[in-house]
Chain A
Amino acid sequence: MKLLELLGYFNYWVFAIVLTVGLYAVISKANLIKKLIGLSIFQSAVFLMYITMDKVEGGTAPIIQAGVEDQVFSNPLPQVLILTAIVVGVSTLALGLAMVVRIKESYGTIEENEILDAD
């Protein structure tokens, strides 16, 4: 079980690293689409953390199998939250991209510093 414990922390480490990689794209890249991609990576990291929390050792996905007694189920609650969040994530991403498209049409560029210079 030592290995499993280490893996538990590994999931959270991956969450931390992916989250900060996304954050890095958001704060350091000037390109607006790049920022949005960074934002969606950030979002995925949060999804990963929630789904990591739902795992129960020896458990299975929370769909009851007919004829099987004494099943241990993983936690359905984080799954519900993330399931809806994925769909909401893609719609809000589309909203951001729509804004970027309009910015491109008005300013002729999608680089943040050039937009600031133009203002």
Chain B
Amino acid sequence: MNMYVVVAVAILITMVLALIRALMGPSVYDRVLAVNVFGTKTVLFLSVIAFLYGRPDFLDLALAYALVNMVGILAVLEFVQNRSVKSSEEAADD
């Protein structure tokens, strides 16, 4: 039994749990939370698989995800914020 396999299985199970949360909802933010969890789990999974393949030079991929993953979530925050600004302005116009 390889130690990488054990961790990879744990990460995969967590991915399934996060996916169930994404499918169940109930609010859209639970889905965003699931996306966030899924993102970090993908980083971990890719790193572990790179070691399992014996090609640690592929850690570039995990690095790319670690850097870029936050952008999507910040975009969600901006989206929600603009919408609340817009709707409050519309309410003031009425």
A61 vs B55: C-alpha distance when bound (angstroms): 9
Contacts of A63 in B (CB 8 A): 57
Q: Mark A43-67, 1 if CB is under 8 A from B, else 0.
A: 0000000000000000011010100
Contacts of B57 in A (CB 8 A): 63, 65
A61 vs B58: C-alpha distance when bound (angstroms): 10
Instruction: For the complex, count residues of A whose C-beta is within 8 A of B.
Output: 4
Look across to chain B and name the residue whose beta carbon is closest to the beta carbon of A63. Answer: B57
**Chain A nearest CB: distance from B54 CB in Å?**
8
Contacts of B55 in A (CB 8 A): 60-61, 65
Q: Mark B2-15, 1 if CB is under 8 A from A, else 0.
A: 00000000000000
Which residues 41-96 of A sit at the B interface, judged by CB distance below 8 A?
Answer: 60-61, 63, 65
A60 vs B58: C-alpha distance when bound (angstroms): 11
Look across to chain A and name the residue whose beta carbon is closest to the beta carbon of B58. Answer: A61
Contacts of A61 in B (CB 8 A): 55, 58
Q: Mark A15-29, 1 if CB is under 8 A from B, else 0.
A: 000000000000000
Q: Is B53 an interface residue (CB 8 A)?
A: yes
Contacts of A60 in B (CB 8 A): 53, 55
**Chain A nearest CB: distance from B19 CB in Å?**
15
A65 vs B58: C-alpha distance when bound (angstroms): 11
> Could you tell me which A residues sit within 8 Å of B by CB distance?
60-61, 63, 65
> Could you tell me which B residues sit within 8 Å of A by CB distance?
53, 55, 57-58
A sample of 7 inter-chain contacts (CB < 8 A) reads A60-B53, A60-B55, A61-B55, A61-B58, A63-B57, A65-B55, A65-B57
7 shortest interchain CB distances as A-B pairs? A60-B55, A61-B55, A60-B53, A61-B58, A65-B55, A63-B57, A65-B57
